[in-house]
Structure 1
């Protein structure tokens, strides 16, 4: 059996090597010629999977090791009798940790003694937004959640969901919607000129969902006007040929890596391995934990002299510090348009190993119960 796979999928040989002969190709440039003799196709979000790619192939199973599916023409796959599986929620924790790190940087910039003084509006409460809301709630933040599709499915007296306008009033507004172009609740250019006008200088807008959820032209204009919001962007319209002017105007700019923790990527591979095993009628014998290496940093220790917030932020940024990714992306701005696009993909392909909070053991000596609760809520392992 022949398997064609995006070269950026981790642990391909470990999970799929005994299922067939694997050919790795760049996901962005994957062509019909690359897959015409394949039985199985494994992709990430940069590959458009449709009739143009697979119409003349013998592929019978497509797996995307990502939570998003807007790059997959599922209707055509169904009509062609091709099985499909995605990895919903695989990197939800990774994205949530990225957002928490960005919020910590914002609180530090504002010289806040307590980061929970910031209210957070979450737009989209699926796997990622739901995970983030859970963590923020445990930490004591005031959280406003907007998700019209989920609100419609809930009881009339369910007060968990608010309107988009209410979410846009928060100190931090973070976007976690899928990209939906049609239907009752489209998200394409959801954050348009009129909604950007509602955001002001004291607010932070974070986007880790899809670049097209924000109208780039409108955002560039808004950032050039009086009292603009601060923006932290991990996703962009027209990736990988992103707008350099928007990068320059953003407070934090990263190359679509919020979900790129090692745990998140490996879990995506594991979920598709399980789906493919079921499709082929094979037993599931492998788990991600078998392949995760020892983390480079395994323990941090804090004494009673440590300030709770400072200690939490040190721990957070020892695992995820978006400022490093921001610096790497900004170094590409002097390149030509074609070179910038290639560099954007290269930053993702060669992304340094990033481990999640759960990989790090926090030793607390004489610290308060509040500090212990904070580290537990963040997801760190605690050693007293």
Structure 2
């Protein structure tokens, strides 16, 4: 008899090619619309599926995992970040968790540089003037930004994405500094011409640009808190393409309002889609709708990794991108 196909539930709309391949390989239930599942829908999916394919908009916490059915054996996350999944609770229930690391490294690093340039060169202000038809012509003192070449860039989190940002920033003539849980190997530091700071406080106080590229974990929540933001120079800017929870957003607003930080470029927010209204009103703040990984190529590769993880599991092997609590 042919082997029974795995029951797979996908919580959001994925690229058509990914959904088609999932349908060819598994007994898959896809979404008709792109609205996030409700809590009740997620619980129902966890009760009936062998494999759940969530995204960062789905909260897979201990309460949901305890209500999962006996069939659920794999949570194959569509995305690299897994702070929305209680990996430890899943492990206790015998449920494996996988993700899609490395796929969006270059895309997110590109967007980080776009935000650095957007803030320092005042690009949104120029766009707004042109879109309103208010441009009166070139003037020697109009829309003066700052040159990025020669500026000190402090990277908070020197993993794949942080290193990719460093490579791009070097090409722009920036000086690379970083803080990380572990110091990089000497040959990587030499390649990136990067200066390591054991003390985050000391690094932040000396940087012209701070780039947040670390994951959100209990130890990184509000890592850039009011005290550390106060250490930043008045002419410094901060950009974040990682997770909004790493920055105390209210404290950031206060520093920006007081003119104690020159600007900010944000692709992620502390409270998801509930962006602090004050940020929308500041001309020195560039806001994007979590676009860091939004490339066609990246989203297709994420889907391919999800499929490989599920297929490998279905074949009786450990998923290549399995996440365990020790990795967090």
TM-score (norm 2): 0.76
Instruction: Give me the whole-angstrom Cα distance separating, in 1, the residues matched to 2:287 and 2:27.
Output: 38
1:223-238 map, 5 Å: 223-238=256-271
1:161-180 map, 5 Å: 161-162=196-197, 163-168=199-204, 169-180=206-217
Q: Indicate if the aligned counterparts of 1:8 and 1:27 stay in contact, CA closer than 8 A.
A: no
1:236-251 map, 5 Å: 236-249=269-282, 251=285
Instruction: Give me the whole-angstrom Cα distance separating, in 1, the residues matched to 2:28 and 2:50.
Output: 10
Change (3 A) 1:112 1:251: closer
Q: Does 1:27 align with 2:36?
A: yes
Q: Indicate if the aligned counterparts of 2:9 and 2:30 stay in contact, CA closer than 8 A.
A: yes
Q: Does 1:254 align with 2:288?
A: yes
Q: What does the per-residue CA deviation read over 1:143-172, in whole Å, with 9 as the maximum and x for residues that have no partner?
A: 11111x122x768xx774213234322221
- Residue 135 of structure 2 corresponds to none
Instruction: Give me the whole-angstrom Cα distance separating, in 2, the residues matched to 1:8 and 1:93.
Output: 23
Which of 129, 138, 162 is the matching residue for 1:129?
162
Instruction: Give me the whole-angstrom Cα distance separating, in 1, the residues matched to 2:86 and 2:263.
Output: 35
Secondary structure of 1:88's partner?
coil
Deviation at 1:19, TM superposition (A): 2.0
Deviation at 1:43, TM superposition (A): 1.3
Deviation at 1:98, TM superposition (A): 0.6
Instruction: Give me the whole-angstrom Cα distance separating, in 1, the residues matched to 2:249 and 2:258.
Output: 14
Secondary structure of 1:36's partner?
helix
Q: Does 1:93 align with 2:98?
A: no
Change (3 A) 1:46 1:193: same
Which of 41, 49, 59 is the matching residue for 2:52?
41
Instruction: Give me the whole-angstrom Cα distance separating, in 2, the residues matched to 1:39 and 1:77.
Output: 13
Q: Indicate if the aligned counterparts of 2:233 and 2:260 stay in contact, CA closer than 8 A.
A: yes
Q: Does 1:268 align with 2:274?
A: no
Change (3 A) 1:141 1:212: same
Secondary structure of 1:197's partner?
helix
Q: What does the per-residue CA deviation read over 1:260-293, in whole Å, with 9 as the maximum and x for residues that have no partner?
A: 122222221111211111111199xxxxxxxxxx
Higher RCO, Cα 8 Å, sep 6+: 2
Instruction: Give me the whole-angstrom Cα distance separating, in 2, the residues matched to 1:8 and 1:257.
Output: 17
Instruction: Give me the whole-angstrom Cα distance separating, in 1, the residues matched to 2:154 and 2:303.
Output: 31
Deviation at 1:218, TM superposition (A): 1.2
Change (3 A) 1:267 1:167: farther
Deviation at 1:199, TM superposition (A): 2.2
Deviation at 1:138, TM superposition (A): 4.3
Secondary structure of 1:115's partner?
coil
Which of 9, 17, 27 is the matching residue for 2:23?
17
Q: Indicate if the aligned counterparts of 2:56 and 2:82 stay in contact, CA closer than 8 A.
A: yes
Q: Indicate if the aligned counterparts of 2:10 and 2:52 stay in contact, CA closer than 8 A.
A: yes
Q: What does the per-residue CA deviation read over 1:162-196, in whole Å, with 9 as the maximum and x for residues that have no partner?
A: 13234322221110111121xxxx21111111111
Q: Indicate if the aligned counterparts of 1:9 and 1:65 stay in contact, CA closer than 8 A.
A: no
TM-score (norm 1): 0.65
Which of 225, 237, 241 is the matching residue for 1:208?
241
Instruction: Give me the whole-angstrom Cα distance separating, in 2, the residues matched to 1:108 and 1:132.
Output: 18
Q: What does the per-residue CA deviation read over 1:57-103, in whole Å, with 9 as the maximum and x for residues that have no partner?
A: 22111111211111111111111111221111221111100111222
Q: Tell me the C-alpha RMSD between the 2 structures.
A: 2.5
Change (3 A) 1:189 1:78: same
